[in-house]
Structure 1
Amino acid sequence: MSFKFIQVLFIVLLLQSKLALGAAWIGTQDKQLHYDVQTLVEWGYLDSAATTYPIPWKGIASQLSRLDPTGMQKMPAQAYARLLYYFNIKRTEQTRYFMTLQGASDDIRFRSLDDGVEETGEITLASEFIEGNWSGQLSVNHASGGRTNLDNSFFAYQFGDWNLRLGSLDQFWGPAQSSSLILSNNTRPLKAVALSRSVTTQSEHRLLSWMGPWYFTTQFGQMDSDRVIPDTKLLLSRFTARPFKGFEFGASWAAMWGGEGQDEGLGTFWDVITFQNVCLDRPVCTGEQLTTLGNHLAGFDLSYTFNALSRPMTLYVQRIGEDAVDGYRITDNANLFGFSTYIYQAKVFIETSDTNIACQGDGSTVTNCYYENGLYETGYRMYGRSLGSTFDSDAKQITLGANIRFDDGAVAELYLRSAELNADGQLPSPVLTGDVSEDVIELSGFYQKPYRNWLLRAGASIASRDFQNREDETDALLYLKAQYAF
């Protein structure tokens, strides 16, 4: 798959097509719209699966058009107004072009879904379109140091309730607010071919309607070349459903295989997706020495929303395992737990996760295995950052956060994080920058405000860092981001 070919294809389409309205997914230019969808779902105004980012407009748009905001509480009313405003723009404007400028005093260390900037300096020119069953987004990003990429560009074709997509998009799988154990936008997006359902609402087919609102995506991509085994292939799949009110279930799976010097034939691919055991690094293996072909991560997440004190409250959990014994007993399980609710004009949450887990099961105390693999020594990472948790492996963390909405469309987010990173001081994860282990407390946040055709954001963080083998220090960071919609 040549990404240069995709770039040429996008440019030709944008120059020659009679372009219609905007992007097929909600929030590809402003991730805060995803929180608006979650708000309306949790308050009971939308009936949609909502724990996978990005969510397609189809289905959501038709429900929005039927909503009556009369009597809504303030936060869902704000979410409804913002989503309806952007949807109406997409219906009336023939083309949408964007320019984004961003700069930061240092690299962002801990990234949430919509927290921070991707580079210390970057300019992005983007255009999005839909014409008939075709949709796409071209995003040309030029970063400090002369690096240019097409991250968050895609080209998609919709047929019925499904679409086929080629390109790359930021993604976030799971109900958590600050991170995901299996797929987040902690690193740059994966270049992939994806087959996905183009709606997240209930199917009209009588054999499928019992699941309630549901969503499915499966993706085949290629990882970066700057790794021990360059161009490793990655297969990703996720299914979510809301079979009854307030409850959403999600199942996710990721499998690394192939790459430079590895067999990438159809037979090997079949062995990967059927979890075949193979003998590696020795001529003959006993039953205990056999290993499943490829590097697999899989698990589930649950969220349940109930009403108390005249507001929705949500409990959620995510459990993702890596490696197994006997071919089926997953041993290396990491967990994330959280709770969220609404207070005045804010959605507040608290969540904790732990990737400092014992490996191999059966009472083992060995750690340093999560996101790691004996063959794929770079691990479950791209461009030096985990595809999953923003805190990477061997980390315990707790985060308290708030997403605050204002009447003029402005948004503020605040995060207070406490993390214990690589406590045993062995095999340091890439998230460490100054020592083999670290305790960190970080306060971060931003304020975002629309002004005419601009979307302006200013953010900052301050972190107290307690090291094992060097003097402690305090770090501070400032960043600015401005997006202009033509």
Structure 2
Amino acid sequence: MIKRYSVIACAVAMTFSNSITAEPWIDSKDIYLRQSIEQLVSYGVIKHPVTSYPIMWQGIANDLTDVNLSKLPKEAEFALNHVRHALRFAQKSVRSGIKLKANSKPNEQQAFGERYQEQAALQGYSMMMGERVTAKVSVQVSNDANSGKKIAYDDSYLAVIFGNWVMSGEKINHWWGPANENALMLSNNASPMKALRLTRLNSDYFGPNLLSFIGNWQFTALLGEQKHNKQTPSSNKFFGARFSTSPFQGLELGYSQTAQFDANNQDHDFADFNNVLIGKNKFKNDSIINEYNQLVSLDAKYSSQLFGQSMAVYGELAGDKQNSMLPEHRNYTVGIEHYFGQADYLVKSYLEYTNTQQQCGDNTQPYHCGYQHPYFADGYQHHSQNIGASIAENAKSMTLASQYHQTNGIAAYAKLRFIEQDQATNNPLAKNQKRYQIELGYQQGVFNGLWQVSAQFGKQESDLNPKSDRISALRTSWEYRF
């Protein structure tokens, strides 16, 4: 079905003869561009929702044209110049690039940012943009990828503008919510699904004054296909929708819903999916099991100035959806951020805590209410990778991190992370497992390209293995754009 949608999107695109002048969105890979955008939100420069990646450029571009430089403090100058530079690059009508990756060990837990989930990879991509249509073709050849794919087309898409909406056939990652480490609904952790997506282009508020309290708002909906591992070659359809709004300066609220349906081992068709949209579950075991594995989340982030410092607090509450529009059997993420900058650098630091310790069913057959499910053998995964929180089910995680970026492109980050797996998990090898990690990253320009390197060190211990296992990994990439 997804292939048919892509063909339809291509046919529609061919009806437009004009070219677009800018890439429509900001992807979910650049942690340093994200921190610049977030600091500008805290100063009231950017007034549009920015917790739904990909973020559409149009609203942000409009905000940048309205900046009053005389009222902008020195601390935000770097962030403003950085985002403006990224916008100018996004306005190139044609561009291409190559990327090389080498990793001593594929990354099994992916936070927001560049993905390193293969041992080695060579990627080539090319993008062409016009007035109403943009297309990107990306091909990656990998060795020992977590997804099991040797050749992948991740980051490829075809997007068409219809008025204030963008329809795209794509294979890209999404990051829903304000979290830095563990987005509970959709994250960078898994390789992207093939999907058809509809997104609002400009998140400005248009409508009657009676509803103007909503503020600038964004809506996106996608229909994709989840693939599972080679041992159980199955698939199911995946639906996701997110609404986010910024009712007043610095505050952003979000509501997300996802659902898995039409699995190979189910006898329900697309017509039954109407029950997902209207909130009815009239099936044989609806008192025990949400047959479509519907998940919902509420999230909020508030950014402002406190004692002359740029600060933000955020949280996400997620769970399964059975009897109302609100999450049940709740997981949550909470965090606090601090930003400090000058004309030539910006530093972001954050502390984030995530808890996914939930259990449904009885003591003989327990399962996680959202990330495991009796009707979906591989759970909330794509190619055996978690599509929500990277720590998966029945775990809790604490991360303290700081990242630094300066004018010449040199940047670095450091993370301290603790993860504990709870006894409630069904995997006996993971019971009472504890992981302590230190992660360091650095980037700078090399040979007219961008070189990035990161290292991770830590130890792992569990009840089944009282002795600590030492873990280390070194990852590097080089990207050249032309």
> TM-score surpassing 0.5?
yes
Any conservation in 2 of the 1:275–1:292 contact (CA below 8 Å)? no
Q: Deviations for 1:332-358, whole angstroms, at most 9, x for unmatched residues? A: 110111111124531111110111124
| SS at structure 2 position matched to 1:232 | strand
Task: Name the % identity.
Answer: 23
Match of 1:438 in 2: 433
Letter in 1 for 2:66: R
CA distance in 1, matches of 2:4, 2:221: 23
The 5-angstrom pairing of residues 9-408 of structure 1 reads 21-27=21-27, 30=30, 32-70=32-70, 72-74=72-74, 76-91=76-91, 93-115=92-114, 117-145=116-144, 147-203=150-206, 206=209, 208-226=211-229, 228=232, 230-263=234-267, 265-280=269-284, 288=287, 291-322=289-320, 324=322, 330-343=327-340, 345-359=346-360, 368-408=368-408
- Whether the 8 Å CA contact 1:276–1:292 is kept in 2: the answer is no
| Contact 2:205–2:212 under 8 Å retained in 1 | yes
- 1:472 alignment partner AA: S
Change in 2 beyond 3 A, CA 1:69/1:398: same
1:483 to 1:86, Cα distance in 2 relative to 1, 3 A? same
SS at match of 2:234: coil
**Equivalent residue for 1:464?**
459
Which 10-residue stretch deviates more, 395-404 or 443-452? 443-452
Give, as a single letter, the amino acid of the residue that structure 2 aligns with 1:379.
Answer: G
TM-score (norm 1): 0.87
Could you say if the C-alpha distance between residues 70 and 204 of structure 1 is closer, same or farther in structure 2, counting changes exceeding 3 Å?
A: farther
Offset at 1:330? 4.8
Q: Deviations over 1:222-267 (max 9, x none)?
A: 1114375722011100000011122111000001010224345342
Amino acid at match of 2:300: L
The alpha-carbon deviation at position 69 of structure 1 amounts to 4.1
SS at match of 1:478: strand
Tell me how far apart the structure 1 counterparts of residues 9 and 326 of structure 2 sit (CA, whole Å). Answer: 45
Match of 1:450 in 2: 445
Aligned-pair CA distance for 1:279: 3.7
Amino acid at match of 1:95: V
- Count of residues in Structure 1 that have an aligned counterpart in Structure 2: 469
RMSD: 3.1
Corresponding residue SS for 1:260:
coil
Structure 1: distance between partners of 2:278 and 2:170: 26
Shift of 1:71: 6.0
* 2:93/2:130 contact within 8 Å kept: no
**Which residue identity does 1:127 align to in structure 2?**
S
1:255-305 Cα shifts (integer Å, max 9, x gaps): 10102243453421212322333344xxxx7x845x444111102001122
State whether residues 310 and 340 of structure 2, in contact with CA within 8 Å, keep that contact through their aligned partners in structure 1.
no
Q: TM-score, normalised by structure 2?
A: 0.88
SS at match of 2:123: strand
**Partner SS state of residue 78, structure 2:** helix
Q: Secondary structure at the match of 2:213?
A: helix
Instruction: Kindly indicate whether residue 469 of structure 2 is the aligned counterpart of residue 473 of structure 1.
Output: yes
**In terms of mean alpha carbon deviation, does 462-471 or 246-255 score higher?**
462-471
User: Residue 335 of structure 1: SS of its match in structure 2?
Assistant: strand
